[in-house]
Amino acid sequence: MEKLKIASISLFLLAFLGCKSSEVEDYQTDLDTAIRKIHTDLQKELNTDVPSLSVYIVSPKGTYFSTVTGNNGTLVTKKTNFRFASNTKNFTSTAILKMMQDGWLHLDDKITANIPGTNVPYVPNTAEWNFPNKNQITIRQILQHNAGIYDVTNDTSQYNVNGETYADYMLENFPDHQFTSTEYVKLLTDHNLTYGLPNTVYHYSNTGFSILGEIISRVYSQKSNTSKTYGNYMYDHIVGPSSKIPLDIKFPELAPDQQLPIPYVKGFIKYTDHNEITDQKNASAHVAEGNGVGTMLTLSDYIRSMMKSQNVLNASSVEQMKKSKGPATTSDYALGCSYVPGVGYGHNGATEGYLSTMLYDPETDFSVVVLLPFWDLRNMDNFTKCLSTLNTTALEAKKALKY
């Protein structure tokens, strides 16, 4: 009788495992089909080859990776390095919130206030830093893009150099220039650049996050009693070997540090009259707002652990990151964190030749990272189609797993 029971249990387990294996295979097949279709449709819409489209998923239904390579593309894996651009803003938000947890700063302090326990202000009290409305801006408002800080690396409406943003002009003519937050802020000061008073306008601003990078550097320097940079803090407290969950993610700050770690995928830009490969980049132009380098695997590990309060942020800080929107905010953007309906919380990134997004849904414990190393700049409509492919891919990937 006992042998019969064991045999019955064994047969049940085999049948159960067989069903689970079949289910996993079905999910992978459906995911591959969805990604191939999105890639094919994008190529048809743009009437050009798209190097690759890749997605990495972690969920209670399993871990899945799918990639499609175009005729001019190279193989991408979940461990392939790329520049993840403005996804960096979520890391910067994490750094600020971690400093808040540790009592090193207060989110609602004015940026002209002194760093707690010191007589040193969050930002330099110099002529270069006397930019519009500086005395009224808080740290929280910058995280929310509610500070009214003009974006000198994205916007040419109020200030440009020969029709280009300051950063683009400098990178084109002086590719090895070492950028600093002070030179960006000096442009705000010298040309009286502003979107308006804080909490009266929502406007995405790379320059605002450059200022946050300066704040992180100054606070860490005071707490360490030695000169520290934004990258030092990120390595020591957020992603490095001594952090809570070490991740092989880098935040290059020096102009000569332009080589991506091997293996990496090259970014690709298609213009009307030529094409451009963009793997070499002076990331000093985008410190704290877009200088991150990593893989789909490391971004997934980061966004899952952080949003689940299993990394350096506690549940209260994560909730603020997700939900603390400014009064002028017109989108689903809180503290360096956006929400994509139906997919989850996180951020996206666009830097020359690279598009990516990382998202986590707390309701289903589903996370997704999407990588499209391609820009079509023959017209802005084409670029918008590339950018919208990120959310489309994330949503279709979730549907492929029957969520």
CB-neighbour burial class of residue 116 (10 A; exposed 0-12, middle 13-18, buried 19+): middle
Segment 270-326, tens digit of pLDDT: 999 999 999 999 999 999 999 999 999 999 999 999 999 999 999 999 999 999 999
Residue whose tokens read 């159960």: 16
Segment 39-54, tens digit of pLDDT: 999 999 999 999 999 9
pLDDT of residue 12: 54
pLDDT over 60 at 216, yes or no: yes
Residues in Cβ contact with 281 at an 8 Å cutoff, skipping those fewer than 6 apart: 83, 258, 351, 352
pLDDT of residue 24: 76
Residues in Cβ contact with 99 at an 8 Å cutoff, skipping those fewer than 6 apart: 105, 216, 219
**Rounded mean pLDDT of 153-166?**
96
Question: For 49-70, b where at least 16 C-beta lie within 10 A, e where not — what string?
Answer: ebbbbbbbbbbebeebbbbbeb
Alpha carbons 305 and 107: distance in angstroms, whole number: 23
pLDDT of residue 375: 98
pLDDT over 90 at 13, yes or no: no
| Tokens encoding 335 | 């503290």
The pTM of the full predicted model, rounded to 2 decimals, is 0.94
User: Which neighbouring-strand residues pair with 208?
Assistant: none
pLDDT of residue 23: 77
Segment 331-349, tens digit of pLDDT: 999 999 999 999 999 999 9
CA 32, 271, 170, 183: dihedral to nearest 10 degrees? -50
Percent of residues, the chain, with pLDDT higher than 90: 93
pLDDT over 90 at 154, yes or no: yes
User: Which neighbouring-strand residues pair with 138?
Assistant: 110
**Rounded mean pLDDT of 143-153?**
98
Residue ranges in 308-355 assigned as alpha helix (H): 315-323
Nearest to 336 by CA among 365, 310, 308, 307: 307
Domains for the chain: give ranges and CATH numbers: 43-400 (3.40.710.10)
Segment 368-398, tens digit of pLDDT: 999 999 999 999 999 999 999 999 999 999 9
Residue whose tokens read 């008073």: 197
Longest Cα separation, the chain:
90
pLDDT of residue 264: 98
Q: Phi/psi at 68 (nearest 5 deg)?
A: -125, 135
144 falls in which pLDDT band (50, 70, 90)? very high
Higher pLDDT, 279 or 188: 188
Q: For the chain, what is the mean pLDDT? A: 95
* CA distance readout (Å), 44 to 11, 69, 122, 157, 305: 49, 15, 50, 33, 37
> 147 with 137: CB under 8 angstroms?
yes
| Pairs from 387-390 (Cβ < 8 Å, separation ≥ 24) | 387/348, 387/350, 387/355, 389/38, 389/42, 389/53, 389/355, 390/348, 390/355, 390/356, 390/357
Alpha carbons 230 and 248: distance in angstroms, whole number: 17
Strands (E), 326-373: 338-340, 344-351, 354-361, 366-372
pLDDT of residue 289: 98
Residues in Cβ contact with 331 at an 8 Å cutoff, skipping those fewer than 6 apart: 202, 338
